[in-house]
Amino acid sequence: MQLGVLFSGGKDSTYAAWLAKKYGHEIACLISIVSKNPDSFMFHTPAIKLTQKQAELIDAPLVCVETLGKKEEELGDLKKAIKKAVKDFKIEGIVTGAVESVYQASRIQKICNELKIECFNPLWQKNQIELLNELVKSGFEIIISGVAAYPFDKSWIGRKIDKKFIEEVSKLQEKYKINPAGEGGEFESLVVNCPLFKKRLELGKFEVVGEGNSWRIDLK
């Protein structure tokens, strides 16, 4: 099946794309929404501009649409992007990296229903520690691109998701009841290498900006 992937460049959307390809589907295009609202309800924001470079590494065309990021209104921009993908790349369905957010999954499903295309959520309801371990075992190199909740701070930015990381967030889950894969918005991620990429993504220069428990990569 010809599929479009809702793609943020983070671990979940990239892993979902890889699984879709592994299951025998064709990735016809990637779809990225660039939100001007850093607190968007729907869309990943740190390092989102790198999706163009990631798309080149995946060798897939990118449909990129900007949004002001206003709650609910941003869904119109998402629908616009998906409609463009249907028209330009003849996609028959959408792949998402949704794991636990009913808010996101339900709204994407509604748009797919309206456009009469399929919606695939290969990570839906997957145990979050299990998901992190799968990513490491599958050869995904992922760094933390943003944090937005206690007890995370500036020191977590740029850290790789590896066995040590998984051990630490497992302990934080027990102590603070966080979502270990960042499903509560605790942190966001950036894939710098994976089986889908032709080579490793080079970040170049970036700064880390923020305060308190809210920090993110600021690309130059």
Residues 180-210 have pLDDT tens digits of: 999 999 999 999 999 999 999 998 888 999 9
- Reported as a pLDDT band with limits 50, 70 and 90, residue 41 is low
Contact 93, 119 (CB under 8 A): yes
Mean pLDDT, residues 154-178 taken together: 97
Q: Looking at this protein, which amino acid is placed at residue 41?
A: F
Tens digits of per-residue pLDDT, 45-102?
788 889 999 999 999 999 999 998 787 788 999 999 999 999 999 999 999 999 998 9
CATH topology of domain 2-120: Rossmann fold (3.40.50)
Burial of 133 (0-12, 13-18, 19+ CB in 10 A): middle
What is the pLDDT, as a whole number, of residue 25? 97
Q: CA-to-CA distance for 8 and 164, rounded, in angstroms?
A: 25
Q: Domain coordinates of the chain in residue numbers?
A: 2-120, 128-219
Q: CA-to-CA distance for 16 and 123, rounded, in angstroms?
A: 7
- Residues paired with 219 in a beta bridge: 206
Mean pLDDT, residues 99-125 taken together: 95
pTM value?
Answer: 0.95
Q: What is the CATH number of domain 128-219?
A: 3.90.1490.10
Radius of gyration of the chain (CA): 16
Tens digits of per-residue pLDDT, 120-160?
999 999 999 999 999 999 999 999 999 999 999 999 999 99
What is the pLDDT, as a whole number, of residue 163? 98
On the question of a common fold for 2-120 and 128-219, the answer reads no
Percent of the chain with pLDDT over 90: 85
- Reported as a pLDDT band with limits 50, 70 and 90, residue 35 is confident
The separation between the first and the last C-alpha atoms of the chain, rounded to the nearest angstrom, is 38
What is the pLDDT, as a whole number, of residue 36? 83
What is the pLDDT, as a whole number, of residue 203? 87
Reduced to 3 states (helix: H, G, I; strand: E, B; else coil), residue 62 is strand
Q: CA-to-CA distance for 142 and 151, rounded, in angstroms?
A: 20
Q: Is the pLDDT of residue 164 over 90?
A: yes
What is the pLDDT, as a whole number, of residue 72? 79
